């Protein structure tokens, strides 16, 4: 299992929260790239292959769920952690699970995401999901694998 130097894309429009997540990942010796919009994230994906993407669901220029489903086929080994401060996590999880075909490895968690939970999610990169994700994401409402 890879434990460090993961390339992680962080998509969060709240600058303070984005900075906190990025600083946490740097302390853990990962290589985060922070974006405040989906447009910035799309540009970042043109020059990187992320091991994981941590994305807010509600962003100023779109929906993190659609972004995940649109980009996941390009990055089949990437794990996706979708974060929401809203109460509609079950609906969003159902939306992702209901889409036919191959699905990305993903989990949906309520914000603020505890940093210990985030650390355990990142530690699961490269492991066989969902057996790794489901126990780790005890607060997640949905987890599945391709």
135 has pLDDT over 70: no
107 has pLDDT over 90: no
Is the pTM higher than 0.95? The answer reads: no
- pLDDT (average), residues 119-143: 52
69 pLDDT band, cuts 50/70/90, is confident
pLDDT digits (tens, 9 = 90+) for 33-61: 999 999 999 999 999 999 999 999 989 99
Q: In this predicted structure, what is the pLDDT of residue 138?
A: 32
134 has pLDDT over 50: no
3 has pLDDT over 70: no
In the 8-state DSSP scheme, what is residue 114?
P
SS (H, E, C) 55-104: EECEECCEEHHHHHHHHHHHCCCCEEEEEECCCCHHHHHHHHHHCCCCCC
Which tokens belong to 61?
């220029």
């Amino acid at each position: 299992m890879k434990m460090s130097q993961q390339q992680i894309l962080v998509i969060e429009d709240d600058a303070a929260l984005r900075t906190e997540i990025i600083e946490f990942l740097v302390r853990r010796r990962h290589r985060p790239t922070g974006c405040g919009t989906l447009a910035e994230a799309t540009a970042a994906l043109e020059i990187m292959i992320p091991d994981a993407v941590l994305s807010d669901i509600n962003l100023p220029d779109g929906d993190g769920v659609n972004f995940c489903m649109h980009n996941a086929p390009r990055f089949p080994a990437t794990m996706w952690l979708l974060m929401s401060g809203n109460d509609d996590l079950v609906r969003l999880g159902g939306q992702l699970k209901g889409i036919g075909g191959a699905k990305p490895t993903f989990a949906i968690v309520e914000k603020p995401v505890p940093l210990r939970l985030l650390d355990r999610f990142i530690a699961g990169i490269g492991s066989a999901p969902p057996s790794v994700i489901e126990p780790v994401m005890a607060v997640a409402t949905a987890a599945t694998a391709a």
